[in-house]
A = this chain, B = another copy of it.
Amino acid sequence: MNEDKLHELEKLFQKDRYVALSGIKIEEVGDDYATVGAAVRPDEHMNGVGTVQGGMLYTAADFAFAVLTNMLHPTTVTQTATVTYIRAAKTDRISATARELACSGHNCVVEVTVRDGEGVTVMTGLFNGFISAKK
């Protein structure tokens, strides 16, 4: 894992207020992946039946995408995202790991897997990013 890179990225994203409001933090970055995570706070993240809300899972996935792509090729913004909810997330923490599947010109495609505290997949996502600086 790359500690310096992680701190650099934390700095880059410190002004992302919605991610901060949601309690999501960068946990780990490597050459080709990035993982973010959050401790689940029932009074802030859950719905009436004790599962983490879809918007929270999405925000974590989108953040993992943002961290990875801006590490690999700044500046990248989310253009389109498709997410599928696999299982209800009844857990005390979540993590989202992003890996790039393809990149060409201004377009990159990233897969993100969101897991619960036991490592079970709760949501998968495919994110398309637009890269402003030409490669």
Closest chain B residue to A77, Cβ basis = B85
Given contacts A17-B43, A17-B53, whether A80 and B87 have CB atoms under 8 Å apart is: no
- Contact among B62, B111, B113 with A58 in the assembled complex (CB-CB below 8 Å): B62
For the complex, is A121 an interface residue (Cβ under 8 Å from B)? yes
Query: A128 to chain B: which residues have CB within 8 Å?
Result: 79-80, 84, 128
Given contacts A17-B42, A62-B54, whether A101 and B80 have CB atoms under 8 Å apart is: no
- Contact among B46, B79, B104 with A18 in the assembled complex (CB-CB below 8 Å): B46
Query: A63 to chain B: which residues have CB within 8 Å?
Result: 55
For the complex, is A82 an interface residue (Cβ under 8 Å from B)? yes
For the complex, is A124 an interface residue (Cβ under 8 Å from B)? yes
Q: Which residues of A contact B (CB under 8 A)?
A: 13-19, 21-22, 42-48, 52-56, 58-59, 62-63, 77-87, 101-102, 104, 107, 109, 111, 113, 121, 124, 126, 128
